[in-house]
């Protein structure tokens, strides 16, 4: 009898445990079900987060543009130095050949003077340091040797400069790759958020963006603000011709632009070369603190870190390349935190 009671007690205990576990699972499932809807972002919340990510992407874009411009500059400088080194080496070879000819001439006329043998050594500096031998040299020999010494010193400096710039170039390429990765990461995060929307919500957002681009791309009331100069007017006119072109990070036209890509391209059409990035563009020309003092074609800068730039269009409007997903268009400056303007 006892052997039959024990299994029953174990069975009841097991049923109690299983029942408790099942009840807990039901509660957890219910809580999970209740929590899931609260984690789902609304269309407006997604749009706000996407806009924030686009701003962060633009910050990274300006760093990318700066690294890219530095890379191009370094490549040109390195190429120039390498050309100079190659020409300098040819000059040095000619100087040495000339000194060799002088030694040959001395040999034919009665043997090579010991001092001339020193001319032909691999290190003329050692010879010049031996002042006791200088009185054995002709003026022509001294002049030839000093030219070789100067040329060797010049080549050594240029080679050292090229080595340093090659290191800078390597560091810049690493920075460029990181900046590019940062931009792509922000854009990928934004796309994930957009992908979380329903098909209907995506259509609604797309329609809103199209309406914003369409209305902002049309001619707006720019008031009677005069252009800052003839070149500023030409730059602004060039930018107007690009209205409707899409924003693409790192782009400088004419199929697409980022913010500083548009402004640098526009001024280039007016015959004025300005720096590539918004931060660098902020350092040129005359700074203008008040919106009331701006004139058409002035550069206008936004956000505390100056990562966005456009062209003043008059009547409180800016003509700019806004962000990923938008096109070159007019926009009210009140939509962004204005910092200052620059008259080129």
| Rounded percentage of the chain residues whose pLDDT exceeds 90 | 61
Q: Higher-confidence residue: 167 or 220?
A: 167
Task: Determine the Cα–Cα distance for residues 80 and 86; give it in Å rounded to an integer.
Answer: 10
- In order of their start, the domains of the chain are 43-196 (1.10.287), 223-343 (3.90.1720.10)
Residue pair 300/341 in contact by the 8 Å Cβ criterion: yes
250-254: Cβ within 8 A, 24+ apart: 250/61, 250/64, 250/65, 250/68, 250/183, 252/276
Angle (CA) 330 333 337, round 5°: 135
Residues with a catalytic annotation lie at 259, 308, 320
> pLDDT tens digits, residue range 170-218?
999 999 999 999 999 999 999 999 999 999 998 998 888 888 777 666 6
CB atoms inside a 10 Å sphere around CB 130: 10
pTM comes to: 0.69
> pLDDT tens digits, residue range 232-253?
999 999 999 999 999 999 999 9
| pLDDT (0 to 100) of residue 125 | 61
Residue pair 343/268 in contact by the 8 Å Cβ criterion: no
């Amino acid at each position: 009898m006892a052997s039959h009671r024990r299994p029953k007690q174990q069975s009841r205990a097991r049923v109690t445990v299983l029942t408790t576990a099942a009840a807990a699972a039901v509660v957890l499932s219910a809580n999970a079900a209740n929590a899931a809807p609260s984690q789902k972002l609304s269309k407006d919340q997604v749009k706000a987060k996407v806009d924030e990510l686009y701003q962060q992407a633009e910050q990274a874009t300006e760093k990318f543009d700066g690294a890219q411009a530095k890379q191009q500059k370094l490549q040109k400088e390195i190429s120039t130095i390498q050309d100079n080194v190659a020409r300098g080496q040819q000059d040095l070879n000619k100087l040495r050949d000339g000194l060799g000819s002088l030694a040959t001439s001395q040999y034919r006329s009665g043997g090579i003077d010991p001092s001339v043998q020193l001319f032909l050594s691999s290190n003329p500096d050692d010879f010049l340091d031996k002042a006791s031998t200088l009185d054995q040299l002709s003026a022509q020999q001294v002049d030839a040797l000093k030219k070789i010494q100067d040329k060797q010193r010049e080549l050594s400096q240029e080679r050292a400069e090229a080595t340093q710039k090659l290191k800078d170039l390597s560091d810049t390429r690493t920075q460029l790759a990181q900046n590019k990765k940062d931009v792509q990461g922000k854009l990928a995060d934004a796309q994930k958020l957009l992908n979380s929307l329903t098909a209907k919500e995506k259509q609604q957002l797309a329609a809103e963006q199209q309406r914003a681009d369409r209305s902002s791309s049309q001619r707006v009331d720019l008031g009677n603000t005069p252009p800052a100069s003839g070149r500023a007017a030409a730059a602004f006119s060039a930018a107007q011709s690009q209205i409707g072109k899409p924003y693409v990070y790192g782009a400088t036209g004419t199929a697409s632009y980022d913010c500083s890509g548009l402004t640098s391209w526009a001024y280039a059409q007016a015959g004025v070369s300005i720096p590539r990035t918004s931060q660098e563009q902020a350092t040129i020309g005359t700074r203008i603190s008040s919106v009331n003092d701006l004139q058409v074609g002035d550069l206008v800068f936004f956000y505390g870190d100056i990562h966005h730039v456009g062209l003043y269009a008059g009547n409180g409007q800016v003509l700019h390349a806004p962000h990923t997903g938008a096109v070159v268009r007019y926009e009210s400056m009140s939509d962004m935190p204005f910092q200052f303007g620059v008259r080129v």
